[in-house]
């Protein structure tokens, strides 16, 4: 593995900051990343509105997620600070960038969002990049959104897909094919945190829960992005065109 030396924290132990320990209120304001005031995001928002089954905010979120799956191609882009509008205009984005687009549309719709930070072990991505393991960071900072379509906060896994999996156990998420984390959210709830009956349990890959932040902007402002900027700027032009495919065998295009 690489790569502790190429990450923003360079092997240091990351701990929750004091303001994340007490939670975060989130919000609906536009941010540098969640730039919902941009015409490109507004156009996508209007399309999601027209596809929503009802005026219920929960139905809007389902429609927004489905629309992003359809309109924005999954790639291995690395720039976590990329504005949602850029992702929309390019028509491609990483799991994190696609989630940011859904967040931006949610805030435009008046649905508050916030972010929980997880430090995930690099081994989680080994199946997807079998020939590139040496390039995988030892730990990856994941921005995982929460939404408030009603009176309580819901993890992303409780928003976009089935409510539970009591009747049929879902297929596991293997992280080695065309299905990305973003896509998997539509078929079964998954959990980064230990739970009594998780549908898809990813908690074993988590090294640390860094707590809640007002936005993904705040999370990355606190800890930095996983890959340091000089390296990211060198390889992102290639990775941001590399489509998710079976066992990472896709090719940049």
pLDDT given for residue 54 in this prediction: 87
SS3 248: helix
Sequence ranges of the domains in the chain: 24-244
With beta carbons less than 8 A apart as the criterion, state whether 118 and 204 touch: no
pLDDT given for residue 13 in this prediction: 81
Start-end of H helices in the chain: 18-21, 39-51, 57-71, 84-90, 95-108, 181-184, 216-223, 229-239
pLDDT in tens, 163-222: 666 555 678 888 887 889 999 998 888 889 887 666 888 999 999 999 999 999 999 999
pLDDT given for residue 250 in this prediction: 42
CA atoms within 13 A on the CB side of 209: 13
DSSP state at residue 176 = S
Token pair belonging to 241: 């065109």
| Crossing angle between the packed helical segments 95-108 and 216-223, to the nearest 10 degrees | 130
pLDDT given for residue 164 in this prediction: 61
CATH topology (fold) of 24-244: C8orf32 fold (3.10.620)
Start-end of H helices in 109-249: 181-184, 216-223, 229-239
Which residues in the chain land under pLDDT 50?
1, 21, 246-253
């Amino acid at each position: 593995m690489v790569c502790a030396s190429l990450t923003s924290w360079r092997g240091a132990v990351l701990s929750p900051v004091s303001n994340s320990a007490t939670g975060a209120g989130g919000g609906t304001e536009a941010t540098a990343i969640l730039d919902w005031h941009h015409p490109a995001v507004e156009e996508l928002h209007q399309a999601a509105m027209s596809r929503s089954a009802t005026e219920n905010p929960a139905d809007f979120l389902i429609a927004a997620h489905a629309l992003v799956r359809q309109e924005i191609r999954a790639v291995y882009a690395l720039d976590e600070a990329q504005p949602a509008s850029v992702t929309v205009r390019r028509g491609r984005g990483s799991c994190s960038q696609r989630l940011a687009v859904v967040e931006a549309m949610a805030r435009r719709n008046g649905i508050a969002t916030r972010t929980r930070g997880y430090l995930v072990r690099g081994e989680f991505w080994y199946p997807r990049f079998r020939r590139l393991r040496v390039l995988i960071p030892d730990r990856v900072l994941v921005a995982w959104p929460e939404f408030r379509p009603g009176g309580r906060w819901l993890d992303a896994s409780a928003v976009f897909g089935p409510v539970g999996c009591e009747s049929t156990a879902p297929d596991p998420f293997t992280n080695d094919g065309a299905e990305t984390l973003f896509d998997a959210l539509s078929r079964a709830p998954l959990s980064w945190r230990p739970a009594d009956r998780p549908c898809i349990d990813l908690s074993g890959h988590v090294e640390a829960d860094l707590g809640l932040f007002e936005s993904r902007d705040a999370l990355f402002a606190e800890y930095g992005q996983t890959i340091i900027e000089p390296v990211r700027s060198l390889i992102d032009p290639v990775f941001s065109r590399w489509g998710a495919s079976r066992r990472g065998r896709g090719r940049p295009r």
